[in-house]
Chain A
Amino acid sequence: MKEKVNQIKEVAKENISKIKDLQELQELKVKLLGKKSELTSLLKGLGGLSAEERPKIGSLVNEVRSEIEENLAKAEKKLKEKALAEKLEKEKIDITLPSVKTKRGSKHPINRVIEEIQDLFVSMGYDVIEGPELETDEFCFERLNLPAGHPARDMQDSFYITEEYLLRTQTSSVQARTMLANEEKSPIRMICTGKTYRREDDATHSHQFNQVEGLVIDKKELNVSLADLKGTLEVFVKKMIGANSELRFRPSYFPFTEPSYEVDVTCFKCGGKGCPLCKKTGWIEVLGAGMVHPNVLKMNGYDPEKYSGFAFGTGIDRLAMFKYGITDMRYLYTNDVRFLSQFDRKDEE
Chain B
Amino acid sequence: MKLSRRFVEDYVDIDVDIETLAEDMTRVGNEYDSAEKLVPSTKLVIGKVLECKEHPDSDHLHVCKVDVGSEVLNIVCGAPNVREGIKVIVAMVGAELPGDFKIKKGMIRGEESNGMICALYEIGIDKKFLSEEDKNGIHILSDDAVVGKDPIEYLKLNDEVIDFELTANRGDLLSILGMAYEIGAIYKKQVKEADLTHNESGEDLNNSFSVNVNTDNCSLFLARKALNVTIKESPDFIKNRLIASDIRPINNVVDISNYVMLELGQPLHFYDADRLGNCIETRMAKKGEKLTTLDNIERELEETDIVISDGKRAIGLAGVMGGLDTEIEETTKNVLIEAAIFDSVKVRKTSKKIVRSEASNRFEKGLDPNRTYMAIERAVKLLEEYADATIQTGTVVYDKSNKTEKKVDITTKDINDLLGTNISNADVLDVFERLGFKYDVKEEIITVTVPTRRLDISIKEDLIEEVGRIYGVDNIVGKLPVVPMKIGSVNKTERGIRDKMVSLGLNETLSYILINDKDVHKYTNDSFEELKLLDPMTEERNVLRYSLIPSLYKIYEYNKARYMKDVCIFEIGKGFWKKEENYGEDRKLCSLMTGEYYLGINNKKQVDFYITKGIVEEILDYLGYAGRYSFVLPKENLEEFHPGQVAEINVNGEIVGVIGRIHPKISKEEVYVFEINLEKLLAKKVSKMKFKEISIYPTIKKDIAIILDKDITADEISKVIKKAGGNLLVNYEIFDVYTNAILGDKKSVAYSLTFGSNTKTLTDDEINPVIEKIIESLEKNLKAELRK
Seen from chain A, the residues whose Cβ lies within 8 Å of a Cβ on chain B are: 97-108, 110-111, 115, 118-119, 121-128, 130, 132-134, 148-149, 151-152, 154-155, 159-162, 165, 167, 187, 189, 195, 197, 199, 201, 207-208, 216, 218, 220, 222-228, 230-235, 247-253, 258-262, 279, 291, 293-294, 308, 332-338, 340-341
Q: Mark B281-302 against chain A: 1 for CB-CB distance below 8 A, else 0.
A: 0000000000000000000000
* A119, B495: Cα distance in complex, Å: 12
- B513 contacts A133, CB within 8 Å? yes
B374 is an interface residue with CB less than 8 A from chain A: no
B468 is an interface residue with CB less than 8 A from chain A: yes
* A40, B704: Cα distance in complex, Å: 55
B532 is an interface residue with CB less than 8 A from chain A: yes
Apart from A195-B513, A227-B478, 12 more pairs, CB < 8 Å: A103-B597, A151-B168, A155-B168, A161-B531, A216-B483, A222-B483, A227-B421, A258-B464, A259-B418, A308-B417, A333-B511, A335-B555
- B490 contacts A294, CB within 8 Å? no
Which A residues touch B667, using CB under 8 A?
Answer: none
- B167 contacts A335, CB within 8 Å? no
- B420 contacts A223, CB within 8 Å? yes
- B508 contacts A251, CB within 8 Å? no
The 7 A-B residue pairs with the shortest CB-CB distance in the complex, in nearest-first order: A227-B420, A225-B420, A251-B29, A259-B465, A230-B478, A100-B600, A253-B167
Which A residues touch B167, using CB under 8 A?
Answer: 252-253
Cβ distance B480 to chain A, nearest Cβ, rounded Å? 5
- B508 contacts A340, CB within 8 Å? yes
Q: A111-B510, A340-B509 are in contact. Are A127 and B489 (CB under 8 A)?
A: yes
In the assembled complex, 24 residue pairs joining A and B whose CB atoms fall closer than 8 Å, in A order, are A97-B601, A101-B598, A105-B506, A108-B509, A125-B488, A126-B488, A155-B168, A159-B533, A159-B536, A161-B583, A189-B488, A199-B537, A207-B541, A208-B514, A216-B483, A218-B481, A225-B419, A225-B420, A235-B480, A249-B473, A291-B418, A337-B507, A340-B508, A341-B507
B406 is an interface residue with CB less than 8 A from chain A: no
- A337 contacts B418, CB within 8 Å? no
B726 is an interface residue with CB less than 8 A from chain A: no
Q: Which residue of B lies closest to A103 (CB)?
A: B505
- B488 contacts A308, CB within 8 Å? no
- A201 contacts B537, CB within 8 Å? yes
Cβ distance A276 to chain B, nearest Cβ, rounded Å? 13
Of A125, A259, A262, A333, which is within 8 A of B487 by CB?
A125
Q: Which residue of B lies closest to A102 (CB)?
A: B505
Q: Which residue of B lies closest to A158 (CB)?
A: B535
Q: Which residues in chain B, 483-515, are within 8 Å of chain A measured between CB atoms?
A: 483-491, 495, 498-499, 501-514
B534 is an interface residue with CB less than 8 A from chain A: yes
Which A residues touch B712, using CB under 8 A?
Answer: none
Which B residues touch A119, using CB under 8 A?
Answer: 490
Of B468, B499, B501, B600, which is within 8 A of A226 by CB?
B468
- A259 contacts B514, CB within 8 Å? no
Which A residues touch B509, using CB under 8 A?
Answer: 108, 335, 340
* A224, B33: Cα distance in complex, Å: 33
* A160, B583: Cα distance in complex, Å: 13
Which B residues touch A127, using CB under 8 A?
Answer: 488-490
Which A residues touch B512, using CB under 8 A?
Answer: 207-208, 333
- B534 contacts A98, CB within 8 Å? no
Q: Which residue of A lies closest to B356 (CB)?
A: A154
Of B169, B485, B531, which is within 8 A of A253 by CB?
B169
- B483 contacts A151, CB within 8 Å? no
- A123 contacts B488, CB within 8 Å? yes
Which A residues touch B568, using CB under 8 A?
Answer: 103, 105
Cβ distance B593 to chain A, nearest Cβ, rounded Å? 9
Which A residues touch B536, using CB under 8 A?
Answer: 159
Which A residues touch B508, using CB under 8 A?
Answer: 105-108, 111, 340
Which B residues touch A261, using CB under 8 A?
Answer: 473
Cβ distance A114 to chain B, nearest Cβ, rounded Å? 10
Which A residues touch B513, using CB under 8 A?
Answer: 133, 167, 195, 197, 208
Which B residues touch A201, using CB under 8 A?
Answer: 537
Q: A134-B583, A165-B583, A261-B473 are in contact. Are A227 and B490 (CB under 8 A)?
A: no
B562 is an interface residue with CB less than 8 A from chain A: yes
The residue in B167, B507, B512, B599 that gathers the most chain A C-beta atoms within 10 A of its C-beta is: B507
B521 is an interface residue with CB less than 8 A from chain A: no
- A187 contacts B600, CB within 8 Å? no
- A105 contacts B502, CB within 8 Å? yes
- B418 contacts A160, CB within 8 Å? no
* A347, B718: Cα distance in complex, Å: 44
Of A110, A130, A189, which is within 8 A of B486 by CB?
A189
Of A152, A294, A338, which is within 8 A of B168 by CB?
A152
* A232, B533: Cα distance in complex, Å: 38
Of B26, B476, B484, B514, which is within 8 A of A227 by CB?
B476
B375 is an interface residue with CB less than 8 A from chain A: no
Q: A126-B488, A249-B473 are in contact. Are A232 and B364 (CB under 8 A)?
A: no
B42 is an interface residue with CB less than 8 A from chain A: no
Which A residues touch B502, using CB under 8 A?
Answer: 105-107
- A98 contacts B481, CB within 8 Å? no
The residue in A125, A187, A249, A259 that gathers the most chain B C-beta atoms within 10 A of its C-beta is: A259
* A294, B465: Cα distance in complex, Å: 13
Which B residues touch A100, using CB under 8 A?
Answer: 598-600, 603
- A103 contacts B481, CB within 8 Å? no
Of B461, B559, B596, which is within 8 A of A294 by CB?
B461
* A189, B598: Cα distance in complex, Å: 46
Which B residues touch A259, using CB under 8 A?
Answer: 418, 461, 464-465, 468-469
Of A105, A218, A248, A252, which is within 8 A of B501 by CB?
A105
B558 is an interface residue with CB less than 8 A from chain A: yes
B474 is an interface residue with CB less than 8 A from chain A: yes
- B534 contacts A161, CB within 8 Å? yes
Which A residues touch B499, using CB under 8 A?
Answer: 107
Cβ distance A95 to chain B, nearest Cβ, rounded Å? 13
Q: A102-B599, A155-B168, A208-B512 are in contact. Are A115 and B480 (CB under 8 A)?
A: no
Which B residues touch A333, using CB under 8 A?
Answer: 510-512
- A231 contacts B478, CB within 8 Å? yes
- A222 contacts B482, CB within 8 Å? yes
Q: Which residue of A lies closest to B31 (CB)?
A: A250
* A250, B27: Cα distance in complex, Å: 6
B37 is an interface residue with CB less than 8 A from chain A: no
- A224 contacts B348, CB within 8 Å? no
Of A115, A123, A253, which is within 8 A of B495 by CB?
A115
Cβ distance B97 to chain A, nearest Cβ, rounded Å? 21
- B514 contacts A107, CB within 8 Å? no
- A110 contacts B510, CB within 8 Å? yes
- B417 contacts A223, CB within 8 Å? yes
B344 is an interface residue with CB less than 8 A from chain A: yes
Which B residues touch A334, using CB under 8 A?
Answer: 558
Which B residues touch A104, using CB under 8 A?
Answer: 505
* A116, B534: Cα distance in complex, Å: 36
Q: A162-B534, A222-B483 are in contact. Are A291 and B170 (CB under 8 A)?
A: no
- A105 contacts B537, CB within 8 Å? no
The residue in A101, A130, A220, A250 that gathers the most chain B C-beta atoms within 10 A of its C-beta is: A250
The residue in B33, B488, B532, B559 that gathers the most chain A C-beta atoms within 10 A of its C-beta is: B488
Which A residues touch B534, using CB under 8 A?
Answer: 160-162
Q: A151-B344, A155-B168 are in contact. Are A336 and B559 (CB under 8 A)?
A: yes
* A279, B34: Cα distance in complex, Å: 9
- A134 contacts B576, CB within 8 Å? yes
- A102 contacts B345, CB within 8 Å? no
* A103, B483: Cα distance in complex, Å: 47
